[in-house]
Structure formats: structure tokens, C-alpha cells
Amino acid sequence: MYPEDQSLFRIFSAGGKKFPVCLAFDAESGESYPIYPDFEMTPEYTEDGRPFATAEQEHCPCAKPAVSGMPTPGDCGGCGWFYREHTPYDPIGICTCGSRRRDLNK
């Protein structure tokens, strides 16, 4: 089910979908690290056309600070458009920016 060097770490849910996250082992450092979905390479959307994102992915041109008066964040996790469904620390969320919304009528 998973590559030999990976094991299921956790299943995160957002926007009605479930996303399995595996742990991979890095032999050089001797540590394991989570492998999150790559929504930039393979976009996925909610039923109403909003894109999923990980908190760590690089922000898009539409990024805005989560707190007014702060600088533009460097990643989606600090963006005011990034919606975390369950906790303030969810690593997978939904971009609520209207300009990134997918037109479902096409």
C-alpha cells in the first residue's frame, strides 16, 4: 500500500476529503519526516471549487496577512485566506480567496 520506506503517519481531513500523510525515513539524518500532499503539483478542490493547500506551501500572489498591519506571509499557513477546519495548527486547509476559486461550470 505504501512504499517500503514510508508508513502511514496520520489521516487529515478538510473540506469533506481525507488526506493520508506518510512518514518517510531519511537515512542521512536518521530522522523521519511527514510527506504532505503536493497541491501545487496536483491541485485538489472542495466541492464548491476552493483549492486545498498545505500550511507550509509558498504563498500565492493573492496572499494577505492573517493580522492587519503585518507583512505578507511567506507561506499559506500565515495567510488570511487560509482556512483551517479543525484547529489553528491544521497542516492542511482550504484557500478561501475568491480569485483562486475554480469555476465549476467549465
- Please tell me the predicted confidence (pLDDT) of residue 5: 63
Report, as an integer, the average pLDDT of 9-28. 94
Q: How far is CA 34 from CA 10, 23, 42, 54, in A?
A: 9, 4, 18, 12
- Please tell me the predicted confidence (pLDDT) of residue 55: 96
Higher pLDDT, 49 or 6: 49
Burial class (CB in 10 A: 0-12, 13-18, 19+), 8: exposed
55-106 tens-digit pLDDT: 999 999 999 999 889 999 999 999 999 999 999 999 999 999 998 998 876 6
Report, as an integer, the average pLDDT of 24-41. 93
Beta strands in 1-106 (DSSP E): 6-14, 17-26, 31-35, 52-54, 82-83, 92-95
pTM over 0.75: yes
